[in-house]
Amino acid sequence: MESAGVGWIAAIIIGGIAGWLAEKVMSSSMGVLMNILLGIVGAIVANWILGLLNIQPLAGWLGYLITGFVGACILIAIGRAIRR
């Protein structure tokens, strides 16, 4: 995460915001804390996958917010599919 120009504390905060936004968009019923955690994990996973594909994500907090939001939405969708 440091290579994207975002420190660990900022990454946690931004990932949490991304998870909260994903909760609102996806109308998730998993709870706020779980969705914030999904935002943090989603941002980490999305940045990792983009790195494997040699795709440079947007740098800084905005790029981390976007990748975290997309990653959290994907994780929420996967969570829904597993729970069914």
Q: What is the pLDDT of residues 48-74, one digit of tens each?
A: 888 888 887 777 778 888 888 888 888
* C-beta neighbour count of 4 within 10 angstroms: 20
pLDDT band per the 50, 70, 90 thresholds, residue 5? low
42: closest CA among 54, 57, 5, 84?
57
pLDDT band per the 50, 70, 90 thresholds, residue 1? very low
What's the pTM?
0.74
* 8 A C-beta contact, residue 32 and residue 23: yes
How high is the pLDDT of residue 65? Answer: 84
Q: What average pLDDT does this structure show over 25-40?
A: 79
Query: Strand, coil or helix: what is 27?
Result: coil
Residue with tokens 């929420």: 76
